Structure 1
Amino acid sequence: MIGAKEAQTQVAVNPSKGKRLRLGRIALLVGTVIIYIILSTGALVLYGPFENIRRTVIGAILTSRHPWVITPFFSAETLAKYRPIGFDEMGEGSMQADDFSAIHDDGIEVIPINTAKYSGSLLVVKDPKRVHVAVTKDLNNVGQTVSEMVKDANAVAGINGGGFYDVAGRGTGGMPLGLTISRGKFIGGDQEAVQPVIGITKDGALVVGKYTYKKLQQLGISEAVSYGPQLVRDGEPYLDESEDTWGVAPRSAIGQRRDGAILLLALSGRGNNGIGASLLDCEQVMLDHGAYVAANLDGGYSTELYYAGEFLVTPSNPLGERYVATSFIVDGVGRA
């Protein structure tokens, strides 16, 4: 057995061992402080007096791919209070009655968006008839990236589109959610049910609202996906602060001006040029740039905006482009 005096002698003889012991104690102390800060900050955010922060954080988690992270800490009633509005919570229908079939302007404008919270780009497509829904070529099995869909269609631009089923969380993205129509062809969805729709008529008018497939046919819809919620209706904001419960994240949206130009918006976040945008942020950007009608598209890791062979807004997914079921693409000049 080594006595206390002998142990002191060994430490003195081996100063590196003593140094390691001191570093170990410091590391333990720093780790404890970090854990305390994380736990106390989390408790303050989730249970403190800051209602707006709590709503934003809980909403962001509930709309992420891992909502289970938050559910053990709150009752069903509390979660229901903060649960984000569903993408199907739209009005009965919003569209421009105008016929834009006479527009033949090939112009496309890129407008950079920069704030402290997020950055992104707005693509202004002057002729709305150039915008179509693209669908993964391996439908109901595996999705495609937006850039692949753009290249396959010989298009010039694309943004991620509607929702999709991610079977078992594998990220395959091959099954569109809700009604889907591409270039006048019915792709899938319940034809009898009233469903949330973001569509474009054959004459180039953007349509947002709840419709049956039969009604879409009557309206002359040639392109459609299901997602939401609506952001702008008749040139006025559709959401208010109490409904903005999705938190901040990368966001995508589509809108249309009174002159027919289609607005394709992508805003980055999650450490990629900012923390992200809220639905109200998207709503305001659309209003600032003249949107008469607008709706939210799938966001998060799906968000991206691709134009002329480059990303105007790069996907936040650390693995690169996400496989999605649908996208809105912009035809090249001269394509019928």
Structure 2
Amino acid sequence: MTPTLTRTERPKRSKRRRSNVIRLLLRSTAILFVIVFGMALGSTIFLFTTDAGEELREWAAGTLLTTQHDYWAKYTFLPAAKLAELKNQIQNPTVVNSAPVVAMPPEIEAEEKAKEETIPETKPRELVEVEDINVKRSGYFFKGKIMSISDPNRVHLVMTDRKDGRGDLLDEFTKKTNAIGIVNASGFSDPDGYGRGSKAFGLVIHDGKILQNYNAKGGETALALLYDGRLVTGNYTAKELIEMGARDAMSFRPQLIVNGKNMFADQAAKSWGIQPRTAVGQKADGTILFVVIDGRQPDHSIGATMKDLADLLQERGVVNAMAMDGGSSSMMLHNGDAITKTSCPYYRGRYLPNAWAVF
């Protein structure tokens, strides 16, 4: 009889054990639901009933409006007037023409030359120097590189010459020109992030020749390097720039510093959101600066605001500067190696129509 009793008791224990497991799972699911629901409710209350929550939604909207997915900005549920204000700040930034350098009278120029002759010789500056950027702000942080080029006449806008419907990668530009340093420049058509960078947006001048004389997207601004090494920025046509002596020029937006004035000094940073950034500027002594800030990588660098970018340049004595295309296009190479970390899924970066290079 013992074997029979054993066989009949096992199913009862099995059913009891199964029932306990089911009750435990149901209880765990209920607790998890309450936690998730509570977090969702708490987040909703924070985002829609507090000043900090509204500011966070403005940050999100500003970030989305500067991407190819700007249509998502409406889902931040900001008031229509506030969303329209953010859009206007991005699409129609203030544009100021940089002032031309006024030639010194002959007698003053002679005095300056005499002073230079009495100054002891110092060690020649390196053509290219690279500085690390590592900044922590309240709520976000970013890393990147600043490349200083002592001779502005060694900086050129290089153009893709491919005929297969795509632009060049930065390392391909580097191989073609033997560039010491290089960063991305113009924007380009980029539907859903799959643009092939074959044609730049806006105005383009290369080696003193006008390749494009229009701005396809409203609010874009020209940045040009003249044959005498000066960098100018403003609302110029290609013809006007050629008459000024432009060797290379392109257009994007916004201006960061003009005539020594920080264009974002009095602006709220959140209007342009937080993104990977690229910028080009010039100091009073002629030094050209390339800046690339990494972004969209929580374990490495979140990204920077336009105000962050303008402040970095102003701190280093830049007098004229403008933003280049940003996002997954932002990238810098030095001696053929990437020294910034692109947010593009492909480690070599994006296909690009042109780039600013040192050679």
Normalised by the size of structure 1, how large is the TM-score?
0.83
Matching residue's letter, 2:352? V
Match of 1:231 among 236, 256, 259: 256
1:120-175 deviation digits (Å, cap 9, x = unpaired): 11000000011111222237931222222122222111111121112464231222
Identity of paired residues, percent?
A: 27
Candidates 188, 203, 216, aligned match of 1:164 = 188
| Distance in 1 between residues matched to 2:357 and 2:323, nearest whole Å | 16
Deviation at 1:212, TM superposition (A): 1.0
* 1:87/1:227 contact within 8 Å kept: no
2:62 aligned to which of 59, 63, 66: 59
Paired residue secondary structure (1:319)? coil
Q: Which amino acid aligns with 2:274?
A: V
Give the drift of 1:194: 9.6
CA deviation profile, 1:264-303 (whole Å, cap 9, x unmatched): 0011121252211101100110011110111111111111
Figure out how many residues of one structure are paired with residues of the other and give that number: 320
Separation (CA, whole Å) in 1 of partners of 2:164 and 2:42: 45
Give runs of ≥4 in structure 1 deviating > 4 Å. Answer: 6-10, 191-195
Structure 2 residue 101 is matched with structure 1 residue 107 = no
Cα displacement (A) at 1:32: 6.0
Whichever residue aligns with residue 356 of structure 2, its letter is: F
Q: Which residue of 1 aligns with 2:315?
A: 288
1:42 shift after superposition: 5.8
| Amino acid of the structure 2 residue aligned with 1:162 | S
Question: Is 1:278 paired with 2:305?
Answer: yes
How far 1:60 sits from its partner (Å)? 0.5
Unaligned segments of structure 1, at least 5 residues: 1-5, 332-336
Could you list the per-position Cα deviations for residues 3-35 of structure 1 after superposition, in whole angstroms to 9, with x for gaps in the alignment?
xxx998543254xx7547634653564366346
Distance in 1 (CA, whole Å) between partners of 2:213 and 2:36 is 49
User: Structure 2 counterpart of 1:315, which letter?
Assistant: T
| Structure 1 residue identity aligned to 2:351 | Y
Residue 70 of structure 1 is aligned with which of 52, 73, 84? 73
By percentage of residues, which structure has more helix? 2
Matches within 5 A, 1:123-162: 123-138=147-162, 141-162=165-186
- State the Cα deviation string for residues 218-276 of structure 1 (Å, max 9, x = none): 11111111112111112221123435311111111111011101000011121252211
For structure 2, the 5+ residue unaligned runs are 1-9, 104-123
User: Which protein shows a greater Rg?
Assistant: 2
Would the alpha carbon gap of residues 34 and 214 (structure 1) be closer, same or farther in structure 2, given more than 3 Å must change? same
Q: Partner amino acid for 1:41? A: S
Equivalent position of 1:329 in the other structure:
357
Distance 1:235 1:199 in 2: 17
SS in 1 for 2:264: coil
C-alpha contact 2:92 2:219 (8 A) present in aligned 1: no
Q: Matched residue of 1:255: which SS? A: strand
- The answer to whether residue 230 in structure 2 is matched with residue 205 in structure 1 is yes
State whether residues 131 and 330 of structure 1, in contact with CA within 8 Å, keep that contact through their aligned partners in structure 2. yes
Paired AA for residue 107 in structure 1 = L
